[in-house]
């Protein structure tokens, strides 16, 4: 029996998701320049011709991949920011980064992707659009900047440049989570990141901001006890 239009659309969307999922794994392992359509087809277990049916060029595929992952990251960020309404800036900051940490535990490729993005945005988006691509990849740093600025205004964080502080905070966070969980293979399964691992990461990040140990430790206990993702 021939498929109806709705079924055809469902099949097409599922196949595109399969290709994008494979492209994400290939991208993490090889980067943009090292990836090719053969690798994506092999990872997706599809004929290369079928991959080209959905995406005419490698660049078209990776532009859509970036858009897909950016959308997923935005949803995570918005959910975390909404969950912090009414909290102090330190509580908000702790809850936000703990949420990203836990999301990385359950889907480590999101963090792997974030590590590679800054190096490839120009190659994928070109001279006219790379800044927009880079801006989207800085989603979490933008959220941290706003929270840190709030903390400075309330005297909870020593006076500094909020954007520079957020950049340093995020860089330390990503580097330590990457090292702690050994996110290097493009694996899709969750990795073993315990709360003690996050405590180690939080120590480096919050001490770098000049936040008192007693303050961030108290926020950490409330966050681990009360946040469910």
Overall average pLDDT of the 216-224 stretch: 85
User: What is the predicted pLDDT for the residue at 186?
Assistant: 53
Does any domain span residue 128?
yes
- Given a contact cutoff of 8 angstroms between Cβ atoms, the answer to whether 147 and 89 are in contact is yes
Residue 34 lies in a domain: no
> What is the per-residue pLDDT across 29-42, written as a single tens digit (0 to 9) for each?
888 999 999 999 99
Query: pTM above the 0.85 mark?
Result: no
Residue 229 has pLDDT above 50, yes or no: no
Q: Is there a domain that residue 92 lies in? A: yes
Per residue in 202-217, pLDDT (tens digit) is 888 999 999 999 999 8
Q: Which of 10-14, 83-87, 150-154 has the highest mean pLDDT?
A: 150-154
Does 14 fall in a domain?
no
| CATH number of residue 118's parent domain | 1.10.357
- Residue 206 is predicted with a pLDDT of 94
pLDDT at 148 over 60: yes
197 falls in which pLDDT band (50, 70, 90)?
confident
DSSP label at residue 3: P
Mean pLDDT of 45-52: 95
Residue 144 banded pLDDT, cuts 50, 70, 90: very high
Is residue 126 domain-resident? yes
Please say whether the beta carbons of 51 and 57 come within 8 A.
no
* Of 114 and 45, more confident: 45
* 154 domain residue, yes or no: yes
Residue 50 — pLDDT band, cuts 50, 70, 90? very high
Contact between 181 and 191 under an 8 Å Cβ cutoff? The reply is yes
Q: Does a structural domain hold residue 21?
A: no
What's the pLDDT tens digit per position in 86-129?
899 999 999 999 888 888 777 778 777 877 877 787 888 777 77
Q: Answer for the pair 94, 220: CB distance below 8 angstroms, yes or no.
A: yes
More confident residue, 175 or 79: 79
The average pLDDT across 46-74 equals 92
Could you tell me what percent of the chain has a pLDDT over 90?
43
At 126 the pLDDT is 79
Distance (Å, whole) CA 69 – CA 229: 18
Residue 35 falls within a domain, yes or no? Answer: no
Domain count, the chain: 1
Give CA–CA dist 218/139, Å, rounded: 27
Expressed as residue numbers, the domain containing 184 is: 59-226
The pLDDT score that the predictor gives to residue 23 is: 94
Short-list 117, 123, 120, CA closest to 138? 117
């Amino acid at each position: 029996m021939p498929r109806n239009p709705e079924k055809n659309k469902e099949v097409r969307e599922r196949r595109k998701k399969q290709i994008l999922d494979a492209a994400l794994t290939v991208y993490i392992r090889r980067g943009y320049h090292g990836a090719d359509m053969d690798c994506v087809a092999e990872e997706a277990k599809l004929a290369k011709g079928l991959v080209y049916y959905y995406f005419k060029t490698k660049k078209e595929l990776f532009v859509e991949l970036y858009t897909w992952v950016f959308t997923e990251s935005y949803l995570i960020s918005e959910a975390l920011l909404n969950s912090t309404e009414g909290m102090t800036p330190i509580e908000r900051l702790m809850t936000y980064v703990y949420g990203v940490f836990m999301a990385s535990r359950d889907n480590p490729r999101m963090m792997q992707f974030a590590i590679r993005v800054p190096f490839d945005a120009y190659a994928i988006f070109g001279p006219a659009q790379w800044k927009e691509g880079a801006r989207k990849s800085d989603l979490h740093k933008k959220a941290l900047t706003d929270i840190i600025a709030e903390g400075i205004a309330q005297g909870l964080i020593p006076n500094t440049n909020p954007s520079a502080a957020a950049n340093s905070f995020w860089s330390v966070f990503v580097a330590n989570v990457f090292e702690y969980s050994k996110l290097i293979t493009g694996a899709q399964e969750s990795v073993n990141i315990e709360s003690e691992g996050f405590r180690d990461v939080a120590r480096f990040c919050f001490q770098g901001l000049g936040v008192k140990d007693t303050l961030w430790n108290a926020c950490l206990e409330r966050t681990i006890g009360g946040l469910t993702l």
